[in-house]
């Protein structure tokens, strides 16, 4: 059995502190990607930080259940209102997907 650490988390930390851009607060990391001629901010979100929330993926139009790791992406020129939550596989396949998503007549457009 390992001994328990009794020192505070902030005391004696020799590593760099997380910057606002690395996504440490949300359990993931942030990067920049180019897609459709625009620069996108992409943040990988850990499942623990998405607990109690559900989102609709724009890639497959399916729900992302609570607690599932996923990707949040938004164009750099826009604000946080344009953030979209994607399944990781849907974000990776965004160039191979068609732009026509089949929705029923009563489905809301997100």
| pTM, to two decimals | 0.62
Q: Which of 54, 57, 56 shows the shortest CA–CA distance to 65? A: 54
Highest average pLDDT, of 15-19, 22-26, 46-50, comes from 46-50
Given this model, what pLDDT does residue 86 score?
93
């Amino acid at each position: 059995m390992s001994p328990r650490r009794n020192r505070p988390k902030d005391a004696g930390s020799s590593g760099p502190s997380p910057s606002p851009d690395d996504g440490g607060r949300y359990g993931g990391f942030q990067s920049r990607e180019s897609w459709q001629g625009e620069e996108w901010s992409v943040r990988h979100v850990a499942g623990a930080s998405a607990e109690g929330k559900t989102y609709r993926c724009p890639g497959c139009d399916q729900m992302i259940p609570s607690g599932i790791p996923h990707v949040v992406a938004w164009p750099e020129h826009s604000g946080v209102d344009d953030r979209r939550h994607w399944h990781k596989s849907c974000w990776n396949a965004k160039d191979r997907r068609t732009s026509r998503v089949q929705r029923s007549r009563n489905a809301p457009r997100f």
